[in-house]
Amino acid sequence: MKQLERRYERRAEIFKALANPLRLVMLEKLADKPWCVCALADELGVDKSIVSKYLSQLKSAGLIEDTRKGTLVEYRLVAPCILQVASCAEETIQEQKKKLLSEE
């Protein structure tokens, strides 16, 4: 039972990492190419400390990894399948909209 519990705990950790709109945007950006904190912060128009914190959370969840290139640290998506969860969520939203419109 402990092994099963741990598996669900790990899944919950991944969903917690996804439970923020900015982290979702960051994952989509990282799917395209590796990014460093400064460039990603500039691209998103948010403070570097926030980007750094969110990248750390995504890394802890096992969704991204970092690579050091001299003094530069780049982050990249290592679990591209996670974007399917976002696609599924978008499909669900669209279906809910259709249902609401048909009920009016």
What are the CA-CA distances from residue 104 to residues 6, 90, 93, 95 (Å)? 44, 22, 17, 15
101 vs 62: which has the higher pLDDT: 62
Q: Residue 11 carries which side chain, given as an amino acid letter?
A: R
Tens-place pLDDT, residues 8-57: 999 999 999 999 999 999 999 999 999 999 999 999 999 999 999 999 99
**Structural domains in the chain, sorted by start:** 2-79 (1.10.10.10)
